Amino acid sequence: MKLNVIVHEAEEGGYWAEIPVIPGCATQGETFEDLLENLYEAVEGCLSVISSGEIWPELIFDAERR
């Protein structure tokens, strides 16, 4: 699965990134390499919470067949 990631340079140094297709899913890293490692954990954690239905249940169940 490919996900688009927006990477930002943090004002205080390092980087932070957001994954637009997963609302609220973001992470940071002191180096770009740290950021990439942290992205895997962040996406895994966000998708785990979403699939459990604990938050954003409307994203999972609010579908309409046309």
pLDDT digits (tens, 9 = 90+) for 16-40: 999 998 888 999 999 999 999 999 9
* CATH 3.30.160 fits domain 6-61: yes
> Which pLDDT band, with edges at 50, 70 and 90, does 3 fall under?
confident
Residue 57 has pLDDT above 80, yes or no: no
C-alpha separations of 44 from 11, 49, 65, 66 in Å? 26, 9, 28, 31
Q: What is the pTM of this model?
A: 0.70
66 or 23: which carries more pLDDT confidence?
A: 23
pLDDT-above-90 percentage for the chain: 55
